[in-house]
Structure 1
Amino acid sequence: MQAKISSFFKPSTTTNQSQLLESIEDIPLFETTKEPEILITYECRRRKPNTDLSRSDENESEEDIGEKAIGSGLADTHVKPVTKGRVLNKKRSYAQMYLEFGQSNFHLQNCSICGLKYARGEEGDEKNHKEFHKNYTHGIPFKGWRNERVVPMNSSHGDRIVLVLNSDPSAQKNKILEVAKMIEGELGLSDGWLLHKLCKVYLYVSAQRIAGCLVAEPIVTAYKVVSSSGIQKVSDCNKTKSDRAVSTVLQFGSVNFRREVIKGVPAGNKIDLNEDYSGSICCEKEAVPACCGVRAIWVTPSNRRKNIATKLLDAARASFCAGYVLEHSQMAISQPTSAGKALASRYSGTESFLVYNSGLNTLMDHW
């Protein structure tokens, strides 16, 4: 048994050891032969400054470029990193635009006609103001649509009135929004107040421009305006009561002061468009039935005094209710200005025209 164990751990042959020693002896301690040298040359060329801003190389710093050169083996004592070049645009003008010497018109100018603010002397602002001023005074350009809803009227100059509804195509509604924005700016209305989904818009087209616009909406009731004669009677009655209650003599010790009352001349029954109709409106308490409410009516400054507003009102009376022509007493006006009061009095033939509250429809969906 012991013989078998010894034979298991005993090296098989001695020849392997001898061969290993011979191979070790053949290896020299020091290498005496030289390997063939391979010369590698690098050609360094300066890159031209890159003027293309779209490339990402422009955003690299000088340190990043130097690190790249070291990593590629190009970093040498005589090689300098390429710096980022910047070429100025020779066509750009660096001249000073304005010189302030205390002049009164240095800031933005406000046009007294169209109300647009612009910088005088600036080519872009001058061009924008000229275009806006022409659209404001003569009307927004309008070449027409393929399918128009034209309201019949008597015209010898080729003018026409076009009716636009909320259900019409978006191209027509965009033109209406452009006109409404100009009307809201002149009348001092908030943006988007003028139009809602029940409105009917009448455009007066003349010489391929929108010379006037009327926005109408359905209403149920309205109120009669108290005429100036009725207001005069109420004021006279109030004066007599106050005169009785308050004495016209002021006494300070032994000195007496007497008040002098100057009575104004009552206005006549004649309606003048140039008359100042500013002030509050007194209405009756009882409401009367009405069908059509004029939310706003507007005519360009260069086309006023040409009965365009009257033609728009006639078109609204004839086409607002299908197959039925409204009476003058069935139309009411909303928030009239001084010119609107004069127009309503002249069109209805009386100072007791109808007005209504347009705030009831302000919560409806807009165009």
Structure 2
Amino acid sequence: MRRKPIPRPTAKAPLSETSQNIQSLPELAPKKKKRLVQMQLDLVGELRKKCRVCGMEYIPSNSEDVVLHRKFHAMNVGGVDFTKAFVERIKQNQVWAGGDGSFIAAVGRKDTLAFRNKASEVLKVVNTELAAVTIPDEALWSQLHSSISSKAVAHGEKPQPSAKGHSACSTSDRFKAYLYIHGQKCVGACLAERIQEAYTVVDQDDASEHTGRVPVPAEFHGASISISRVAEPAILGISRIWTSNLHRKMGIATTLLDSARSDFLYGMTIEKTMVAFSQPTGSGGELARKWFGRRAGWCVYID
């Protein structure tokens, strides 16, 4: 007799791998999302601001920019700070001395690296205020070969050809920086440049009446002048000239100009007729008219 099979219930669900004797872990609470805080508002406008006094552009909401602007503003208004030791060292390059202890020092290609670096630091302030292009150090402290006799041109003479029919060549520094130092600050600067030719400024009222001369619209930062079409020999160019805000109207700029023309060429003073300004600003044009003593007839050059 065969034994009848005993029916066994089938499992309705798979067995769990978790033991019933182990207490289940509590469910972790969901992490809270970190709240983002907007640190700067974007109002779809210009975030940069330009100081009307020193001319520097900066972002008022940026603390580093604010510190840089404060430092630059102080240099522009009161002058560039020099240490007492540096003032004593650069005094050996003195080309003019004032009664109040102030003096003008000339810095050229052959001077020490410390002198040239300090002159470049001052020129950064000058370039920013005048919105002028920065001159690389390679060009700033380079030499220039000229085919015009420096001695002849300095005294207003026409260049004379040599026996072979060529003008004598000369070599000179391309630039020289003149720093006006008062106390332990540089409160004025003039960058002089060796040039070959310049154009005479013509009075706008009768510029069209001059034969061979036409009014030239000047892109001179708002200074409207007319210049002659024919170039004249020149030797000294005033590339940059600057005085700190607190020291203007004291004759510093004119003193710098006189020092540049008396020192630029060794042993001789360059006639004013051989001096030219580089694309003067409105205030630069006023300075030129005051220094030359006439409204027109002075020169500008294209750099």
**Which residue is 1:298 aligned to?**
242
What stretches of structure 1 of length at least 5 have no aligned partner? 1-93, 239-275, 359-367
The partner residue of 1:352 within 274, 283, 297 is 297
Alignment equivalent of 1:112, drawn from 47, 52, 56: 52
Q: What's 2:176 paired with?
A: 200
In the superposition, relative to structure 1, how do residues 97 and 312 fare at CA in structure 2: closer, same or farther (>3 Å)? farther
Change (3 A) 1:159 1:289: same
Q: 5 Å matches for 1:321-332?
A: 321-332=265-276
Distance in 2 (CA, whole Å) between partners of 1:179 and 1:97 is 39
After superposition, give the CA deviation of every residue in 1:136-156 in whole Å (9 maximum; x if it has no partner): 211111121525310124x22
8 Å contact 2:223–2:281 — kept in the other structure?
no
Distance, in Å, in 1 between the alignment partners of 2:69 and 2:104 is 28
The match for 2:254 among 276, 286, 310 is 310
Same amino acid, percent of matched pairs: 31
Whole-angstrom CA distance in 2 between matches of 1:277 and 1:182: 18
**Deviation string for 1:20-68 (max 9, x for gaps)?**
xxxxxxxxxxxxxxxxxxxxxxxxxxxxxxxxxxxxxxxxxxxxxxxxx
| CA RMSD in angstroms, aligned pairs only | 3.0
In structure 2, the CA distance between the partners of 1:127 and 1:311, relative to structure 1 (3 Å rule), is same
Structure 1 length as normaliser, TM-score? Answer: 0.54
Secondary structure at the aligned position of 2:66 is classed as: helix
Aligned with residue 191 of structure 1, among 113, 131, 134: 134
1:101 Cα shift?
9.4
Alpha-carbon deviations, 1:56-114, whole Å to 9, x = none? Answer: xxxxxxxxxxxxxxxxxxxxxxxxxxxxxxxxxxxxxx996846496989x44432222
Which residue of the other structure, out of 319, 328, 341, is the alignment partner of 2:263? 319
Identify the residue that residue 12 of structure 2 maps to in structure 1: none
**How far off its partner does 1:119 sit?**
4.5
CA contact (8 A) 1:277 1:342 kept: no
Amino acid at match of 1:209: K
1:181, CA displacement in angstroms?
Answer: 1.8
Q: Is the 8 A contact 1:293 1:331 kept in 2?
A: yes
Question: How far did 1:284 drift?
Answer: 2.2
1:137 equivalent to 2:77? Answer yes
Alignment of 1:262-273 (within 5 A): none
TM-score (norm: length of structure 2): 0.64
Kindly report which structure 2 residues correspond to 1:89-238, keeping only aligned pairs within 5 A, or say none: 98=39, 100=41, 107-120=47-60, 123-143=63-83, 144-147=87-90, 148-153=92-97, 155-192=98-135, 195-197=140-142, 198-231=174-207
Aligned 8 A contact 2:56 2:129 in 1: no
TM-aligned CA distance change 1:329 to 1:110, over 3 Å? closer
Separation in structure 2 between the aligned mates of residue 229 and residue 297 of structure 1, nearest angstrom: 28
Paired AA for residue 227 in structure 1 = D
Closer/same/farther in 2, CA of residues 130 and 97 from structure 1, 3 Å limit: farther
Consecutive unaligned residues of structure 2, counting only runs of 5 or more, are 1-34, 143-173, 215-219
Task: Note if contact 2:221-2:282 (Cα within 8 Å) is conserved in structure 1.
Answer: yes
Q: 1:278 to 1:99 in 2, by over 3 A?
A: closer
Whose Rg is larger?
A: 1
Aligned partners of 2:190 and 2:238 also within 8 Å: yes
Q: Is the 8 A contact 1:222 1:355 kept in 2?
A: yes
Which protein has the bigger strand share? 2
Which amino acid letter does the alignment assign opposite residue 167 of structure 1? K
Say if 1:277 and 1:339, in contact at 8 Å, map to a contact too.
no
| 1:267 corresponds to | none
Sort the Cα spacing of 1:314 and 1:120 in 2 relative to 1 into closer, same or farther, 3 A.
Answer: same
Q: Tell me, yes or no, if structure 1 residue 284 matches structure 2 residue 224.
A: no
Q: Secondary structure at the match of 2:120?
A: helix
Give the superposition deviation at 1:230. Answer: 2.0
Number of aligned residue pairs: give it: 223
Are the counterparts in 2 of residues 110 and 118 from structure 1 also a CA contact under 8 Å? yes
